[in-house]
């Protein structure tokens, strides 16, 4: 069937439909997968299904029931934009923004850590810290007198074009015992031209880069960084000289939705990004040469981390729901140990809820006048969410028992030679064999498939692994009040 293209009205001039988003990806980008150059990412078996899923999120901007969740009207210019780009000025704005996070998280059952509404929050964070960027004018930066101006113009560009982006800081894994400045992978400025900077090197695990319009990238500060490696910028995915190498696919695109209710919907793909003297336009450069600005990464990325925490809460709800549906299907819900397992999942979910709500209720106005979730709540909540994650996955798997393995494809049900036995032997508590197996197929995709394996690895490290988070929490939380209480109580 021919794709229905929605025509944007004037009110919707800054919103893309799903079809327009897909069209925007047919831009000559240099993407490689399975040893071949990809002609059209939207049609590619490994990349296309994930793009289709995100296209539905774009179409949701025109759905009367989802419009207020997915879009907002800017009070200054009266135009409607994707809510992904909204700058929260009040706690209510943060809460409204979270409803979009809940929508995008549920759409992928949390398997996309970089859904379309994530990376615009980097831009929001840059706006929040703009006053600090305003003061920077390092001698190394020849043609970039105003990083703050670029932050603003990139924000305007991304919002007006309803862009989605990857967000990348990590370097390719080489020999970590050697100084990173010796690595050919370290991203560096090789030339400064009138229209922009030339950048050479590589970045790794660029989640969603090949399926997005652009890439936000930075080098995390290391003591040995030369000024040419202090970079924070953005670039279109289709930039000349930028080559994207996809890792092996982990989902099951093309599979029947019965067999893989989740993994058949595709995935966010990860890429190694090779910058071969890519020209980054001046307007998209937020730092070049200033090591102090690189250190702002943590404060800038706060809204992204709040997104991740909120998505983990949505996933926690999904884990509780899936486990409860399973124990009802198996009729094990009255066994005390099974009830205790579900209670464990609920405890995880309720704790994440508390972190999310507290992070919003304790929000503060940043120097740039942007409402910022409470950093300590976000960091502590994220640490709790990832440290408990393997146990939570294991608990969902445990209540499923053999059902997680003894799953059968729809074709086995459809063939009378086999289907009659499955229909007769496998029904559960008030549920047909088919529905019970479909539920287990979903639980498999969510907790145990290769898609789930990638998601579990992603959760553990995507926004820095637990050891880093512990150090960050220790450094961030002021300890004076605790000390005073303890010293007073001890009489010291």
Ligand X SMILES: Cc1cc2nc3c(=O)[nH]c(=O)nc-3n(C[C@H](O)[C@H](O)[C@H](O)COP(=O)(O)OP(=O)(O)OC[C@H]3O[C@@H](n4cnc5c(N)ncnc54)[C@H](O)[C@@H]3O)c2cc1C
Nearer to ligand X, 80 or 315 (CB): 315
Phi, psi of 270 (to 5 degrees): -110, 145
Nearer to ligand X, 108 or 207 (CB): 207
Tell the smallest beta-carbon distance from residue 185 to ligand X (Å): 11
Q: Does 185 bind ligand X (CB under 6 A)?
A: no
Tell the smallest beta-carbon distance from residue 265 to ligand X (Å): 17
The one among 461, 483, 485, 486 contacting ligand X by CB under 6 A: 461
Q: Does 270 bind ligand X (CB under 6 A)?
A: yes
Tell the smallest beta-carbon distance from residue 301 to ligand X (Å): 10
Residues 207-226 that bind ligand X (CB under 6 A): 207
Give exposure, 230-265, as e/b (b: 16+ Cβ within 10 Å).
bbbbbbbbbbeebbbbbeebbbbbebeebbbbbbbb
Q: Does 42 bind ligand X (CB under 6 A)?
A: no
Tell the smallest beta-carbon distance from residue 443 to ligand X (Å): 21
Q: Is the Cβ–Cβ distance between 352 and 378 less than 8 Å?
A: no
Q: Does 271 bind ligand X (CB under 6 A)?
A: no
Distance CA 469, CA 122 (A): 19
Burial zone of 456 (CB within 10 Å; 0-12 exposed, 13-18 middle, 19+ buried) = middle
Residues 147-166 vs ligand X: string with x where CB under 6 A? -------------------x
Residue nearest to ligand X (CB): 207
DSSP string, 125-191: HHHHTHHHHHT---TT-SS-S-HHHHHHHHHHHHHHTT--EEEE-PPP---TTS-GGG-TTS-EEEE
Nearer to ligand X, 61 or 464 (CB): 464
Q: Does 305 bind ligand X (CB under 6 A)?
A: no
The one among 465, 474, 477, 482 contacting ligand X by CB under 6 A: 465
Distance CA 286, CA 148 (A): 7
Q: Does 173 bind ligand X (CB under 6 A)?
A: yes
Beta bridge partners, 280, equal 197
Q: Is the Cβ–Cβ distance between 437 and 410 less than 8 Å?
A: no
Q: Does 170 bind ligand X (CB under 6 A)?
A: yes
Q: Does 454 bind ligand X (CB under 6 A)?
A: yes
Total residues in contact with ligand X, by rule CB under 6 A: 20
Count Cα neighbours of 427 within 13 Å in the Cβ-side half-sphere: 7
The one among 335, 406, 457, 477 contacting ligand X by CB under 6 A: 457
Nearer to ligand X, 37 or 176 (CB): 176
* Contacts of residue 397, Cβ cutoff 8 Å, sequence gap at least 6: 404, 443, 447, 448
Binding site for ligand X (CB under 6 A): 114, 166-170, 173, 176, 205-207, 270, 454, 457-458, 461-462, 464-465, 467
């Amino acid at each position: 069937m021919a794709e229905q293209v929605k025509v944007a009205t004037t009110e919707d001039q800054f919103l893309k439909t799903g079809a327009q988003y897909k069209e925007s990806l047919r831009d000559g980008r240099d993407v490689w997968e399975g040893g071949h150059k990809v002609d059209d990412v939207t049609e590619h078996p490994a990349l296309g299904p994930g793009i289709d899923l995100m296209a539905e999120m774009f179409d949701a901007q025109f759905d009367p029931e989802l419009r207020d969740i997915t879009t907002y009207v800017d009070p200054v210019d009266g135009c409607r934009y994707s809510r992904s780009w909204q700058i929260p000025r009040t706690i209510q704005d943060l809460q409204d923004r979270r409803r979009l996070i809940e929508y995008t998280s549920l759409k992928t059952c949390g398997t996309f850590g970089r859904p379309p509404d994530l990376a615009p929050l980097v831009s929001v964070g840059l706006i929040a810290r703009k006053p600090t960027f305003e003061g920077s004018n390092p001698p190394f930066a020849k043609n970039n007198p105003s990083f703050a101006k670029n932050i603003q113009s990139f924000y305007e560009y991304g919002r007006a074009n309803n862009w989605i982006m990857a967000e990348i800081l990590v370097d390719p894994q080489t020999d970590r015992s050697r100084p990173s400045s010796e690595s050919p992978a370290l991203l560096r400025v090789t030339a400064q031209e009138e229209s922009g900077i030339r950048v050479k090197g590589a970045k790794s695990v660029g989640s969603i880069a090949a399926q997005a319009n652009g890439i936000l990238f930075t080098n995390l500060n290391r003591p040995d960084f030369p000024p040419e490696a202090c970079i924070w910028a953005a670039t279109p995915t289709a930039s000349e000289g930028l080559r994207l190498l996809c890792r092996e696919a982990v989902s099951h695109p093309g599979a029947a939705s019965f067999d893989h209710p989740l993994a058949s919907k595709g995935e966010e793909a990860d890429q190694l990004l090779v910058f071969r003297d890519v020209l980054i336009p001046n307007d998209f450069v937020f730092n070049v040469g200033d090591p102090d600005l690189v250190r702002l990464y943590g404060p800038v990325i706060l809204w992204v981390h709040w997104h991740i925490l909120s998505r983990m809460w949505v996933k926690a709800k999904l884990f509780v729901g899936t486990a409860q549906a399973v124990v009802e299907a198996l009729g094990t819900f009255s066994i005390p140990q099974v009830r205790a397992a579900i209670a464990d999942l609920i405890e995880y979910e309720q704790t994440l809820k508390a972190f999310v709500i507290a992070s919003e209720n304790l929000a503060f106005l940043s120097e740039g006048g942007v409402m910022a979730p409470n950093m300590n709540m976000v960091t502590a909540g994220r640490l709790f969410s990832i440290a408990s994650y393997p146990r939570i996955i294991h608990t969902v798997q445990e209540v499923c028992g053999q059902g997680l393995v003894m799953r059968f494809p729809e074709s086995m049900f459809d063939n009378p030679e086999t289907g009659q036995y499955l229909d007769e032997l496998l029904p559960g508590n008030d549920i047909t064999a088919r529905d019970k197996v479909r539920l287990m197929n979903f639980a498999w995709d969510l907790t145990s498939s290769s898609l789930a394996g990638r998601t579990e690895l992603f959760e553990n490290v995507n926004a820095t692994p637990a050891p880093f988070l512990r150090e960050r929490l220790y450094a961030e939380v002021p300890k004076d009040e605790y000390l005073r209480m303890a010293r007073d109580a001890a009489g010291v």
